[in-house]
A = this chain, B = another copy of it.
Amino acid sequence: MDSRFLEEAIRLAVENVRKGVGGPFGAVIVRRGRIIGRGTNLVTSTNDPTAHAEIVAIRQACQALADFQLTDSEIYTSCEPCPMCAGAIYWCRPARVYFAAGHEDATRAGFDDSFIYRDLAVPPEKRTVPFLKVAVPDFLLPFREWESKSGNVRY
């Protein structure tokens, strides 16, 4: 752990607010002591609800490495990741994540993600955004196509 990277994530977050391009969040991806990706929250300025600091940084770092995995990398983020960003972090598999503010600090500042954790724990059809399973005959077709194809790149 090198707290200078966490300070850089915080600096990016503050700068992001000053620029007026999004929420108070910043993240950097570090590999072998070097920053390979930077991100800030750009949701409102880019009309992209997925443009959280961690997602932006992950995408940039993956482009830099030309890889869809961030093995041996570490994520430094100004605030504890939300469920979406946590999910993204699992998919790119960094070694670990360091964060400064906790989710309770974010909640106090008006950025509450606890409703998502709560809602994901209830059955899909009972969520505040209902996730409804629909019976269609072809539901397994994509997986059958995948299994019948050779040379698939696993991820």
Which residues of A are in contact with B by a Cβ distance under 8 Å?
Answer: 1, 3, 6-7, 10, 13-14, 16-18, 20, 23-26, 43-44, 47-50, 55, 58-59, 62-63, 65-70, 78-102, 105-106, 108-110, 115-117, 119-120, 124, 129-134, 136, 138-143, 145-147, 149, 151-155
Contact = CB atoms under 8 A, between A and B. Distances in A.
Given A59-B50, A90-B116, A133 B3 contact: no
A142 B80 contact: no
In the complex, the count of this chain's copies comes to 2
Contact of A80 (B13, B14, B95, B124): B124
A43 to B, nearest CB: 5
Nearest to A128: B90
